[in-house]
Amino acid sequence: MKNKQIVGIGIFVLLVLVIISIKFYSDKKAENGVSAKDLKTVTVATGGGKEDFIADEDVNKILREKYGLNVVYDSWSNGKLVLNPLVRENGDKYDLMFCSDQRFYDYYKLAPNKEKKEADRYTVLDGGLTLNTPIVIYSWAEVVDAFIKDGIVTEKEGTYYITDMNKLLTYILEGKKWSDIGLNMLYGSINIASTDPVTSSPGATYYGLLLSIMCGGNVTDTSMQENLPKLKEFYEKSGYMNNTPADLFEKYLKTGLGGEPMIVDYEKSIVEFANENPDGFNQVKDNIRILYPEPTIWNSHCVATFTEAGNEYYKAIQDKEISQIAWEKYGFRTGVTGGNYNVDSLGIKGMPSNIRSTVSSLKMNMYDNLISFLKGSN
């Protein structure tokens, strides 16, 4: 009798454990919205500058639990996105392309140029501007103070704007020295370091901005040809250039005022740095200055969808929680680029809630002509 009681108790305990396990699994499934086996895989061909965002654990948790999407991505150069067949190594078609600038998105929607051996393209079902960050110039307090006295920079509500870009560009073209504006501790000529526009997409975006400014905001075939020689002179005076914005930004932070008085990069870089290296950011935050050229230019990462799964991803990536992560963790202004953003949540001085003056991105053929001229093959 005793043995039967023990067996009965054992069976009862086992049943209780089974019921608890089933309940836990059901609750977990309900919490997650969809079971792992029911997730829809979405394949993404992405250009650079946002891989950490695409792979972000919190972003992907939202995509899984709210939208039932499992994201798999491969990194591509932007040039290859518009040149090569968009297929994975196993030959499967991608669900979407996530390029790193609007010019690639606009260009992909055109018929392929067979003279350039461009591959056939998929029909774009949906897409558009998704992640945005403006070009800014990073500098130091001493440099900005000198430019304020010289009438090149204006401070408004804690944000520093380069309100006379033409004057600054003239200084660089004329070879003015840092000592000419009272910065005797700096050696050599006034310069803004950038990545190489010939080999780097961020550098090309910056030089597109410079060309727009030189053309008075109206870049036509005629005004472009008139100002390309001046732009090339600027390029030749710029000296050595880093290949990636990450390398340039790291050099700016490590070498300080004496090494890199001014560099060109994206606004998002300071947000990523503050999140990834809070101790390092605290060491330099009081002396760093973010300068917003007037006008500046957007670097807009765009989605182009090719399948229904791609459409689902494009809609899901606009989720309010995901947009908040994109802004607070990676510095991307999402959605309507003219919108207002809560900059106080970032803890970074000098970032405006909105970008007030921009020029339009150049078309791909204009960038091709610009780069060709700088290379000397015009």
Would 5 be classed as within a structural domain?
no
- Structure confidence at residue 338 (pLDDT): 57
Same domain, 138 and 100: no
Strand boundaries in 170-310, DSSP class E = 263-266, 288-293, 296-305
Closest CA to 166 of 204, 206, 215, 205: 215
- Structure confidence at residue 31 (pLDDT): 47
pLDDT at residue 185 greater than cutoff 90: yes
Same domain, 88 and 202: no
Q: Which residue has the higher pLDDT, 20 or 171?
A: 171
- Structure confidence at residue 11 (pLDDT): 66
Same domain, 243 and 312: no
Same domain, 316 and 276: no
Residue whose tokens read 């957007």: 298
CA 315/CA 148 separation, integer angstroms:
44
- Structure confidence at residue 242 (pLDDT): 81
Q: Residue 333 — φ and ψ, nearest 5°?
A: -85, 120
Q: Which whole number is the average pLDDT over 100-123?
A: 95
Length of the chain: 378
Output the domain CATH number for residue 201: 3.40.190.10
pLDDT at residue 195 greater than cutoff 60: yes
Same domain, 232 and 349: yes
Q: Which residue has the higher pLDDT, 242 or 363?
A: 363
Distances (CA, A) of 278 to 60, 267, 317, 346, 347: 24, 17, 27, 12, 11
CA 38/CA 125 separation, integer angstroms:
24
Closest CA to 235 of 68, 93, 376: 376
* Number of other residues whose CB lies within 10 A of the CB of residue 358: 19
pLDDT at residue 126 greater than cutoff 60: yes
Task: Name the residue range of residue 207's domain.
Answer: 133-298+343-375
Q: Residue 118 — φ and ψ, nearest 5°?
A: -75, 140
Q: Worst-scoring range by mean pLDDT, 6-20, 125-139, 352-366?
A: 6-20
Confidence of residue 20 (pLDDT cuts 50, 70, 90): low
Is residue 81 within 8 Å of 97, Cβ to Cβ? yes
pTM equals 0.89
Is residue 107 within 8 Å of 364, Cβ to Cβ? yes
Pairing between β-strand 288-293 and β-strand 126-140 as defined by DSSP bridges = antiparallel
Q: Which residue has the higher pLDDT, 5 or 370?
A: 370
pLDDT at residue 28 greater than cutoff 60: no
Same domain, 279 and 151: yes
- Structure confidence at residue 60 (pLDDT): 98
pLDDT at residue 14 greater than cutoff 70: no
Peptide bond into 295 cis (omega under 30): yes
Q: Which whole number is the average pLDDT over 227-237?
A: 96
Average model confidence (pLDDT) across the chain? 91
Q: DSSP label at 118? A: P
Would 338 be classed as within a structural domain?
no
- Structure confidence at residue 5 (pLDDT): 58
Q: Which residue has the higher pLDDT, 18 or 15?
A: 15
Q: What is the pLDDT of residues 237-276, one digit of tens each?
A: 998 888 789 999 999 999 999 999 999 999 999 999 999 9
Q: Which whole number is the average pLDDT over 32-40?
A: 75
Residue whose tokens read 């059901």: 26
Would 2 be classed as within a structural domain?
no
* Number of other residues whose CB lies within 10 A of the CB of residue 212: 23
- Maximum mean pLDDT: which of 36-50, 52-66, 322-336: 52-66
Would 11 be classed as within a structural domain?
no
Q: Which whole number is the average pLDDT over 157-177?
A: 97
Q: What is the pLDDT of residues 306-329, one digit of tens each?
A: 999 999 999 999 999 999 999 999
Would 29 be classed as within a structural domain?
no
- Structure confidence at residue 33 (pLDDT): 58
Same domain, 152 and 250: yes
Would 24 be classed as within a structural domain?
no
Same domain, 173 and 226: yes
Would 174 be classed as within a structural domain?
yes
Would 75 be classed as within a structural domain?
yes
Beta bridge mates, 87: 93
Q: What is the pLDDT of residues 67-89, one digit of tens each?
A: 999 999 999 999 999 999 999 99
Same domain, 218 and 189: yes
Q: Nearest 5 degrees, angle CA 48-CA 245-CA 189? A: 155
Same domain, 154 and 239: yes
Same domain, 64 and 208: no
Question: Number of structural domains, the chain?
Answer: 2
Same domain, 277 and 185: yes
